Amino acid sequence: MTAAEAERVIIDPADPLGTISAVADRHNNWGRWGQDDALGTLNFIDESKRVEAAALVRNGRTFSLSQPFNTDGPQKGWRRRTNPVHTMTDTGMEAQHGNQGFPHGFGGADDIIAMPLQCSTQWDGLGHIFDRGVAWNGRAAGEVVTSEGDQVTGIETAADRVVTRGVLLDVGRALGPSLGREDGELPDGFAITPEHLTRVIELQGPSSQVRRGDIVLVRTGQYARTRREGWGEYAGGPAPGLSFTTAPWLHHSEIAGIATDTWGFEVRPNEFEDAFQPLHQIAIPNLGLFLGEMWDPEALAEDCAEDGRYDFMLVAAPLAITGAVGSPVNPIAIK
């Protein structure tokens, strides 16, 4: 971590592409786990890491970190991202009237759901974002993701991997007072720097030390604000989030993944003009880092603040959807 903290990323507003290119060149994991790798930073999670995570379970309290999946979700249709549509195909009414065709009074209910895979709490897979036409591990984007899906790093490759130590960095609670906010929420547009992350770890204590193979959950407080005030511009609008300058921290910390309570993980508006989600452009195709978005840390954060323990066992498996570049998830924190 010392190297990451010592390295400073200088954002040149006049040269966004040059800034992105320079950071990508310095922070790149291509070939680290071999030419055929499809897991990226999930390689940092091994059997001993899962044993470490299991040892954190002391009282068995569980917390779902998922937002609801329903038609009242945050999406507004951008790039065909809509909220889930849930439809019943069989109901208790048909069973009550005995017209389902089953014998001896048997009845049942069935339903279907139609939704984009990244409409609510989700993982970004390694085929989700490219950097100048190149996917994770230096592969040509068009050879990885075709009309038939992700042929190399489909989200199904991660289906049994995401069980590890989780660490909550409650940036909203820790830094809010210094920003004149007592509600535990960062203002929209607040860029979380490596120095902020280090300060939060210091304030929260030893249980929030970040180690190799961890998944870090960053709470900004924006989701809490939307629950109180409504969705507003949550999907794609201004938001607190990770600064582009955290790229060295993300690299040198050797975390397996990072998730936030915001729509897009990084600060919005982005920190220089003529760029769209530039930290994604470093994290996914260059670091091979799994990103979680739209997670709900509220109940967990309350518990962590009460008992002073900010680490926990985290089970956050994506659905094994063959060839998908992302997946809904119901992450479970176990304390």
pLDDT of 161: 97
What is the per-residue pLDDT for 7? 79
Separation CA 208–CA 326 (nearest Å): 28
CB of 155 within 8 A of CB of 327?
yes
Classified as helix, coil or strand, 114 is strand
pLDDT at site 32: 98
pLDDT of residue 1: 44
Q: Where do the domains of the chain lie, and which CATH numbers do they carry?
A: 2-77+116-334 (3.50.30.50), 86-114 (no CATH)
| pLDDT value, residue 6 | 52
Question: Residue 316: is it exposed, middle or buried by C-beta count within 10 angstroms (0-12/13-18/19+)?
Answer: buried
| 10-residue stretch averages of pLDDT, the chain, 335 residues long | 63 89 96 98 98 98 97 92 94 91 93 95 98 98 98 98 98 91 93 97 98 98 97 96 97 98 97 92 98 98 98 98 98 98
